[in-house]
């Protein structure tokens, strides 16, 4: 009997198989190359700059420079306006961008202004000052979460509740008009004015009171909303002429218009209510 000869692999076969498997593994791990910068990256850049300005503002507050912190929050508001414009121009609106914008707004227009108003004077009230100073950040977070849940993809002419950037701007206006406000809060007792202002601002954010949205610089918008267009023009003129004082006056007028309109609508609703409805319901309950 002849013994069967054992077959030996050809020289280099194992090495070739190993290289083939290595190449196949690398191909499976290789990701497709990016085709280009996504549209959402452009507005997201400005959104992150908004957050960066808010972070710098917190640093300035911790160093005691409230004026510089206030200007940084104004710059954050400018970037916040730009990211919305870029999203519309590039058609880069997305759920990711909306969530990122809300997260950045909580820091720049919630946490930073709360820290500012606490450092401005509420820290002298101890625990009460800490709780009240935190309200803009807490109410702002609630308002942004409510906005994201109820957002239907269309921009309305009114906000439901006071926008968080507006609350931040009121606090910024208080800081920038430091000398004027200090005359009103010359001692600890007068801090009740700031205490009440912060509580009212936080409360307005979580209400359903309609406040005007930023106007569109178009002739169609001016024809449809002439009052808002005129108010916006006067606001721009006031900011140019009176600067910090003009900002404070414009914001107080904005709040007065929103609150006054809500009160007027409530009065009309009570006046126009049919008194016979209550009598009819009472008769049904008695029967």
pLDDT along the chain (287 residues), means of 10: 53 65 69 57 87 97 94 94 80 80 94 95 90 95 90 75 94 89 63 88 93 78 78 84 88 92 89 62 50
Q: Is the pTM of this model over 0.75?
A: yes
Residues 157 and 222: beta-carbon distance below 8 Å: no
The rounded distance, in Å, linking the Cα atoms of 139 and 130 is 15
Residues 79 and 50: beta-carbon distance below 8 Å: yes
Tell me how far the alpha carbon of residue 108 is from its chain's centroid.
8
| Most distant pair of Cα atoms in the chain: their distance | 119
Q: Which of 177, 194, 175, 176 is nearest to 185 (CA)?
A: 194
| Class of CATH domain 41-213 | mainly alpha
Determine the 3-state secondary structure of 208 from DSSP: coil
> What is the model's pLDDT at position 86?
81
Provide the token pair at 191: 């801090």
Provide the token pair at 43: 């507005």
């Amino acid at each position: 009997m002849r013994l069967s000869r054992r077959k030996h692999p050809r020289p280099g076969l194992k090495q070739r198989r190993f290289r083939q498997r290595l190449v196949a593994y690398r191909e499976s791990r290789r990701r497709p190359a990016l085709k280009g910068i996504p549209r959402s990256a452009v507005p997201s850049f400005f959104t992150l700059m908004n957050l960066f300005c808010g972070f710098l503002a917190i640093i300035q507050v911790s160093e005691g420079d409230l004026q510089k912190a206030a200007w940084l929050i104004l710059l954050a508001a400018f970037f916040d306006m730009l990211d919305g414009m870029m999203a519309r121009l590039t058609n880069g609106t997305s759920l990711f961008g909306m969530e990122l914008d809300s997260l950045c707004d909580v820091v720049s227009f919630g946490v930073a202004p709360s820290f500012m108003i606490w450092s401005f004077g509420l820290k002298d009230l101890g625990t009460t000052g800490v709780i009240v100073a935190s309200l803009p950040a807490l109410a702002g977070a609630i308002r942004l979460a409510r906005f994201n849940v109820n957002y239907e993809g269309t921009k309305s002419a009114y906000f439901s509740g006071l926008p968080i950037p507006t609350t931040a701007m009121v606090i910024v206006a208080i800081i920038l008009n430091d000398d004027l406000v200090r005359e009103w809060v010359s001692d600890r007792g007068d801090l009740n004015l700031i205490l009440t202002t912060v509580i009212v601002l936080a409360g307005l954010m979580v209400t359903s009171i309609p406040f005007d949205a930023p106007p569109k610089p178009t002739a169609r918008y001016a024809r449809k909303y002439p009052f808002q267009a005129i108010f916006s023009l006067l606001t721009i003129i006031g900011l140019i002429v009176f600067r910090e004082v003009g900002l404070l006056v414009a914001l107080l007028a904005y709040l007065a218009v929103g609150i006054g309109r809500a009160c007027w609508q409530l009065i009309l609703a009570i006046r126009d209510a049919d008194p016979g409805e209550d009598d009819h319901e009472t008769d049904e309950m008695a029967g």
